[in-house]
């Protein structure tokens, strides 16, 4: 028989709010702009654009909170090795907690106002230094701390195609393309 050291708290996304849960002592399903603005000053980032080039904007800078604030606030257990993030659109990504706990920033404001939707609001996750699809997530819904990787850690709506491995192969693993006899620089993709 195995005992869980801490209960696993399931969380559900709520429109306009950020939910934090998983293997934590104190889950929270309704964090809003004011809650993030009141977090400890040592976790506040006054200009997210200084760390992530995708968040550089003209005028008032984008403000954020380091993910370490959520780890401390929710009381994530040490056994929770993964951070699983989900957006309201259905995108899900699992990343190593140790890899991002000092880097990740949740952007929530532009100047003194909530982050607008066209800039990824109301909450946007930025992972400076990452090169994959999880480096900049708009409309963040949940942050979950888990001992296991999520079963599906890539975008469910539009799967990222795999890279081609053979000359003439079309990206995504489709059949071999052929060269157009009339134009040597053109490839013809066979019908699916």
Place of tokens 């880097």: 103
Residues 154, 99, 22: CA angle, nearest 5 degrees: 65
pLDDT band of residue 51 (cuts 50, 70, 90) is: confident
Taking the C-alpha atoms of residue 87 and residue 113, their distance in angstroms, rounded to an integer, is: 21
* pTM for this entry: 0.73
Pick the CATH number of 8-146 from 3.90.420.10, 3.40.50.1370, 3.40.1030.10, 3.30.450.40: 3.90.420.10
Q: Span 85-111, mean pLDDT?
A: 89
pLDDT digits (tens, 9 = 90+) for 5-48: 455 666 777 788 899 999 998 888 789 999 999 999 999 999 99
| Of the listed ranges 23-27, 38-42, 112-116, 122-126, the one predicted with least confidence | 23-27
- DSSP letter at 53 equals G
Looking at residue 172, what is its pLDDT?
47
SS3 helix, strand, coil % of the chain, rounded to 5? Answer: 15, 30, 55
pLDDT higher at 115 or 184: 115
Domain ranges (residues) in the chain: 8-146, 161-192
Looking at residue 165, what is its pLDDT?
57
* Whole-number percent of the chain with pLDDT over 70: 72
Looking at residue 162, what is its pLDDT?
52
């Amino acid at each position: 028989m195995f005992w869980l050291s801490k209960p696993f708290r399931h969380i559900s996304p709520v429109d306009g709010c950020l939910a934090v849960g998983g293997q934590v002592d104190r889950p929270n399903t309704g964090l809003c702009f004011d809650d993030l603005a009141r977090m400890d000053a040592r976790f506040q980032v006054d200009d997210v654009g200084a760390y992530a080039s995708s968040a550089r904007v003209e005028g008032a800078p984008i403000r954020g909170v380091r993910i370490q604030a959520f780890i401390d606030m929710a009381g994530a257990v040490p056994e929770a090795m993964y951070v699983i993030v989900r957006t309201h659109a259905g995108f899900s990504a699992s990343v190593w907690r140790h890899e991002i706990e000092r880097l990740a920033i949740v952007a929530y404001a532009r100047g003194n106002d909530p982050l607008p939707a066209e800039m990824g609001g109301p909450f946007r996750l930025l992972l400076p230094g990452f090169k994959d699809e999880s480096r900049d997530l708009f409309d963040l819904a949940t942050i979950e701390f888990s001992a296991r990787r999520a079963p599906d850690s890539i975008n469910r709506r539009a799967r990222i195609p795999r890279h081609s491995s053979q000359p003439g192969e079309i990206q995504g693993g489709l059949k071999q393309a052929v060269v157009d006899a009339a134009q040597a620089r053109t490839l013809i993709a066979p019908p699916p």
